[in-house]
Amino acid sequence: STSMIYNFAGIITHFNIEGADFDVTPFGSGHINDTFLVKSKIVSYRTYLLQKINHFVFKDIDGLMNNMVLVVNHLKEKIAQKPNGNSEKEVLTLVPCNNGKYYYKDDQGNYWRMTYFLEDTRSYDLVTTEKQAYQGGVAFGQFQYLLADLDPAEIVDVIPDFLNIEKRLRDFNNAVANDKADRLKTVVTEVEYLSSWSTAMNDILKLGKAGILPLRITHNDTKFNNILLDKNNDIQCVIDLDTVMPGYVAYDFGDAIRSIINTAVEDEKDLDAIQLNIPLFTEFTKGYLSETLSFLTEPELKSLIKGVMLLPYMQAVRFLTDYIEGDVYYKTHFPDHNLQRTRAQIQLFKILELNRSKLSDIVNTEWLLLKSNAPIKKV
């Protein structure tokens, strides 16, 4: 296995940790980094997580780790002010290296970082209950709330243009113009469909550029398995902070909804199986708004539904771009995998469009309910 090729004992000596004689085992189901559990053979010592940072995806490791330090320090300060807040359980804790940095570069050019392992927690790949959906909304809403007073200018764009639809459409149009893999003739319908929506999908960016939507600090990978739940299935901690960057709140809302609301998998072959789970949408929205009520502006509230449309659209554009270019970016498991992914995301987009006003009404209703009931939340 891949875990055998690393000199873990050597790597671990560079981190400031307690204990000795460690067992190191692969952990979790993340797709980006390689994650390992580091457990001392003496059970009274703390357990750690060691991660090899994917530096093919993240080129600027200094910028990335700098972001992470700023974000966790800010979160810890805020959590410490909260009644019963526990900044060690609710926020990731980075372990410093002997060189004073928060990562260690080994002689093979791999980048390693370490955090405290959070005991008695679980992450789930799929949302199956309304409680989970609600907790997901609370988690990502609170994350944005706690970071709302950290200046986005301090956070670097670790992946420039990651959620920039203008840039994604430019790449898409280039792929169409070049037709490198000679596949364009097989996807004319999909290309025309996505092109017909391109102007409408520019809304969030336009409002941002006009200063109507504020740039904030967003998570940008709001998958459900980037939340740790405690024994009672309550939110404990938001993890996977690699893509934390300046962004618009609707991006996080939309990307979370993209997976939570879909009853099928992202690359579903049977398009009829793609349906909306409205109760999960409602619960996520309730949880999210309960945390963001105090700072969300009216235009931001209105933008949430735009994010719900934009994120599946952007994913369809990216999958189709890759298909047209001959499958150069995403790993594919069978010949037309990127096309199947494209069609599934287009189908989701179409159903969302059909239900757009219904979903929008839910957001507005929950907002009004919360506004009339809840005292303004302060941490």
Q: Quick check: 238 and 74 in contact, CB under 8 A?
A: no
Would you count residue 240 as binding ligand ADP (CB under 6 A)? yes
**Alpha helix positions (H), the chain:** 8-12, 61-81, 87-90, 130-147, 165-178, 188-196, 203-209, 249-260, 278-292, 298-324, 337-354, 356-373
Q: Which of 30, 63, 85, 299 binds ligand ADP (CB under 6 A)?
A: 30
Amino acid at 241: L
User: How far apart, in Å, do the first and last CA atoms of the chain sit?
Assistant: 45
Integer Cα distance of 197 and 199 in angstroms: 6
Q: Which of 92, 94, 163, 207 binds ligand ADP (CB under 6 A)?
A: 92
Instruction: Determine the 3-state secondary structure of 22 from DSSP.
Output: strand
Cβ-based nearer residue to Mg ion, 28 or 208: 28
Q: Which of residues 171-190 bind ligand ADP (CB under 6 A)?
A: none
| 97 binds, options Mg ion, ligand ADP, none, Cβ within 5 to 8 A by partner type | none
Integer Cα distance of 237 and 230 in angstroms: 9
Q: Which residues contact 274 (CB under 8 A, 6 or more apart)?
A: 262, 263, 264, 268, 344, 347, 348, 351
Would you count residue 61 as binding ligand ADP (CB under 6 A)? no
CB 306 to ligand ADP: min, Å? 26
Would you count residue 12 as binding ligand ADP (CB under 6 A)? no
CB 18 to ligand ADP: min, Å? 17
Would you count residue 32 as binding Mg ion (CB under 5 A)? yes
Integer Cα distance of 301 and 365 in angstroms: 12
Q: Which of residues 189-248 bind Mg ion (CB under 5 A)?
A: 226, 240, 242
Q: Which of 87, 121, 164, 294 binds ligand ADP (CB under 6 A)?
A: 121
* Positions in the binding site for Mg ion (CB under 5 A): 30, 32, 226, 240, 242
* Positions in the binding site for ligand ADP (CB under 6 A): 27-28, 30-33, 35, 49, 92, 115, 117-118, 121, 123, 225-226, 228, 239-240, 242
